A and B are shown apart, each in its own frame.
Chain A
Amino acid sequence: MSAVFDIVAVAAFSVLAGSGAGGGGLLVVYLTVFRGGEQIGSQLKNLAAFVAASCAALPVHFRARNIDPALLAVFTVFGVPGIFAGSRLRNSLPAGIVSRIFGAVLILGGGGVLFGVIKDCVRRGEGPRRE
């Protein structure tokens, strides 16, 4: 039965990843909190699921011309060396503090985007009433 839950959870988080909304490491929460998995192993499974999901989703996004190739090239060329630097820093930095700081950044950033969406909705809602 737990295998069925795993499959449903992976598929659900992959729908979010494939849509572009991202995964936010939510699969890691499911695997560690609800399935009792170890942190690194769960992060690894989260990465594997994301890679598989984006492999399937990317051709659709490319065909729909949603991806900016020039920007993607810059992101990849400068992002890949960053990842090696980050991997080297992983053991020397206090991961707990880094995680908390970045968590706060994600909450503020996500909250800002949500606030922008609500503001847009309110603005659009006011339009017809003014007419």
Chain B
Amino acid sequence: MDKSRRLSGAAKFAVAALGSSLAGAVNGILGTGAGTVFYFICLVISGGGDDRSKDHLATAMAAVFPLSAISLFTYSGASATDPLSFFTLILPAAAGGLAGALLAGKMRGRILRSLFAAVSVAGGINMILR
């Protein structure tokens, strides 16, 4: 059954609004985790399924971008890390991000979902252990 048919437009908006506030709060407190919340909101709104996995993951990533940029500024005052050390990260990170986006276009949704699940579980274990 298509779960999305059970949600009205107003209910979808409410889920997206409340969920994204929660995602923002989680990212503000822990510095990570918003992408997972956004992905699950997309799943709830669309009713799940494999066919739109790429869209859900890409939308979640796009939504995390401004949140991470803001978190970067709110966190930057809390650390004495040498700003120069960030410049060595930027080029490999950008190259990796571009390669990831191009690879995602060629991957099956199922494989992307499996990767996402594995990263979520690993991230969860990290949060419990740290």
**Looking at chain B, what size class is its interface with the partner chain?**
35 or more
Contacts A78-B21, A99-B128 hold; do A19 and B104 have CB atoms under 8 A apart? Answer: yes
Is B97 within 8 A of A18, CB to CB?
A: yes
Separation of A50 and B94 alpha carbons in the complex (Å): 9
Cβ of A75 within 8 Å of any chain B Cβ, yes or no, is yes
Residue A3, interface by CB 8 Å: yes
Write the nearest CB–CB distance from A10 to chain B, whole angstroms: 4
> Which residue of A is nearest B69, CB measured?
A51
Given A54-B62, A76-B66, A102-B127, CB of A48 within 8 Å of CB of B90: yes
Quick check: A79 and B110 within 8 Å, CB to CB?
no
B28-56 contacts to A (CB < 8 Å): 28-36, 38-42, 45, 48, 50, 54-55
How far is it, in angstroms, between the C-alpha of A15 and the C-alpha of B71 when the chains are bound?
Answer: 21
Please, how many angstroms separate the alpha-carbon atoms of A22 and B39 in the complex?
10
Bound CA–CA A111/B117 (angstroms): 6
Q: Is the interface of A mostly helix, strand, loop or mixed?
A: helix
- Residues of chain A with a CB closer than 8 A to B48's CB: 116
Residues of chain B having any CB pair with chain A under 8 Å: 13, 16-18, 20-36, 38-42, 45, 48, 50, 54-55, 57-72, 74-76, 78-81, 85-86, 88-90, 92-105, 107, 110, 112-130
Sorted from nearest, which 4 A-B pairs have the closest CB atoms? A86-B28, A82-B24, A18-B100, A24-B123
- Pull 25 A–B residue pairs with CB atoms less than 8 Å apart, ordered by A: A14-B96, A15-B97, A18-B101, A18-B103, A19-B107, A20-B60, A25-B33, A38-B81, A41-B81, A44-B75, A50-B93, A52-B94, A55-B65, A66-B59, A71-B16, A72-B62, A75-B41, A79-B63, A80-B70, A82-B20, A82-B24, A89-B25, A103-B128, A111-B121, A117-B117
